[in-house]
């Protein structure tokens, strides 16, 4: 199942961040050994974790991998903005 | 014979360590003081070992292997997350009692997953570090991990049964060990979802009321769908509280503190469980 494969990819990123570099240097080659769909490839390439979460990927993984893909300074607000479709009405503690 | 002399339910919020300073510092300080209170109560009861029930967060376990419930019986250290700001250190494990609980489970229909050597995540390390304080107290730990955050989820009924089994196992242990149970996590929180930062105080107080009434069946009856919809995916961790209630045979509880803290993305509840006679 694709969700399982995406969860594996994200989990492996989280446990071995060096893999992110390999993925970025050759996305098609990297993903060729995983059972992912074209849409999932797009979402991974564009860091569209919202789309992946909507497909059932664990948000524990999307949250933990986001700062590895986009930089820790984006947590939590940029991440939440992304997960809310580009709008963050009520950030935590505001 | 070993004795369970105390039981507590409390959060394992990683932001307590990584973001201890927040805008609503008075609320944070109440929670920190509650953890200190738990530590004082544990020490006053001469507790030797804490059994710490926490969730895996897709950190220790991955898609290749997802235990329903796991006991650590060998070496442990933690935390695994550098961003917590806690320097990783060896956590003393009560290997003899942990092995007894493992074997007792195997002999009574509970097929534990087992960790012989594990680096703990915040799900057990926060309560160990802030409530048991092994570096200062020498108190040993027995980490127990549950599938309370990653599907397939441990059924709440089974969590209760595992807790009951832990209680029976401790009671049949030959050593004169004084044990405290820490059920950790919750209460309402949305982890990694678009709603992260939301807290449902009315739900949290409902859970606390049920715990204080010793009404574990009401907690078991809360479906996963209801929990996710009402109190976020993080509220699924109340099965850790249920397991703790099963272990001590909780007949009620004393509320130590409750604070809804959106900056810590969590409703923070701490209770001292009343043990069955």
Which one-letter DSSP state was computed for residue B102?
H
- For strand B69-78 and strand B140-146, is the pairing parallel, antiparallel, or unpaired? antiparallel
**Per-residue model confidence as pLDDT tens digits over B241-257:** 999 999 999 999 999 99
Between the CA atoms of B102, B105, B110 and B116, what dihedral angle is there, to the nearest 10 degrees? 0
Check pLDDT > 70 for residue A91.
no
| A1 pLDDT higher than 70 | no
The tokens for A40 are 């999932």
Helix (H) or strand (E) holding B157: helix B156-171
Distance CA B62, CA B125 (A): 19
Distance from CA of A64 to the nearest CA of B (A): 8
Bridge partners, B119 (sequence order): B77
Token code pair at residue B141: 């730990």
Contact A75, A67 (CB under 8 A): yes
Residue B56: CB atoms within 10 Å: 22
Question: In chain A, what residues touch B57 (CB-CB under 8 Å)?
Answer: 60, 64
- pLDDT for A94: 52
Whether the Cβ atoms of residue B74 and residue B117 lie closer than 8 Å to each other: yes
Residue B93 contacts A where some CB pair is shorter than 8 Å: no
ipTM at complex level: 0.91
Mutate: best of B63, B119, B150, B232, partner A, most A CBs <10 A:
B63
Closest alpha carbon within chain B to A72? B83
CB-CB neighbours of B231 under 10 Å? 26
pLDDT score, position B276:
83
- Asked if A76's CB is within 8 angstroms of B63's CB, the reply is no
How many of the other CB atoms lie within 10 Å of CB of B230?
15
- Among A10, A14, A60, most B C-beta atoms within 10 A, so best to mutate, is A60
Does the beta-carbon distance from B196 to A84 stay under 8 Å? no
Tens-digit pLDDT profile for residues B253-270: 999 999 999 999 999 999
Q: Which residue in the set B23, B24, B192 is minimally distant from A59, CB to CB?
A: B192
User: Average pLDDT for residues B190-215, to the nearest whole number?
Assistant: 97
Residue B110 has pLDDT above 70, yes or no: yes
Identify the pLDDT of residue B121.
97
Q: Which residues of A touch B233 (CB under 8 A)?
A: 59
Tokens of B110: 């509970």
Beta-carbon contacts below 8 Å between A and B: 66
């Amino acid at each position: 199942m694709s969700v399982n494969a995406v969860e594996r990819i994200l989990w492996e990123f989280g446990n071995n961040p060096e893999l992110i570099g390999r993925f970025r240097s050759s996305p098609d080659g990297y993903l060729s050994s995983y059972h992912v769909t074209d849409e999932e490839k797009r979402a991974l390439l564009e860091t569209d974790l919202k789309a992946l979460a909507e497909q059932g990927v664990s948000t524990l993984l999307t949250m933990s991998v986001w700062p590895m893909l986009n930089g820790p300074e984006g947590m939590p607000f940029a991440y939440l903005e992304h997960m809310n479709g580009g709008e963050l009405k009520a950030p935590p503690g505001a | 014979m070993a004795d369970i002399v105390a039981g507590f339910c409390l959060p394992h919020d990683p932001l307590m360590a990584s973001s201890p300073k927040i805008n609503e510092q008075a609320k944070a300080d109440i929670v920190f003081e509650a953890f200190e209170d738990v530590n004082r109560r544990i020490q006053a009861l001469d507790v030797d070992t804490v059994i710490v029930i926490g969730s895996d967060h897709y950190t220790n376990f991955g898609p290749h292997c997802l235990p329903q419930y796991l006991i650590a019986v060998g070496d442990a250290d933690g935390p695994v997350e550098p961003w917590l700001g806690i320097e990783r250190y060896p956590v003393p494990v009560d290997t003899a009692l942990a092995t007894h609980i493992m074997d007792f489970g195997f002999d009574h229909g509970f097929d534990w997953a087992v960790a012989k050597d594990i680096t703990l995540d915040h799900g057990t390390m926060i309560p160990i570090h802030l409530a048991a304080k092994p570096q200062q107290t020498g108190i040993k730990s027995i980490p127990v991990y549950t599938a309370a955050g990653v599907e397939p989820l441990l059924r709440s009924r089974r969590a209760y049964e595992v807790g009951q089994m832990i209680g029976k196992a401790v009671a049949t242990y030959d050593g004169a060990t004084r044990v405290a149970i820490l059920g950790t996590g919750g209460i309402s929180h949305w982890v990694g979802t678009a709603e992260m930062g939301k807290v449902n105080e009315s739900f949290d107080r409902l859970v606390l009321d049920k715990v204080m009434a010793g009404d574990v069946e009401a907690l078991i009856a809360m479906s996963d769908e209801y929990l996710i919809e009402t109190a976020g995916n993080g509220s699924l961790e109340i099965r850790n509280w249920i397991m703790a209630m099963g272990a001590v045979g909780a007949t009620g509880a004393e509320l130590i503190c409750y604070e809804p803290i959106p900056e810590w993305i969590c409703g923070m509840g701490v209770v001292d469980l009343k043990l069955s006679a």
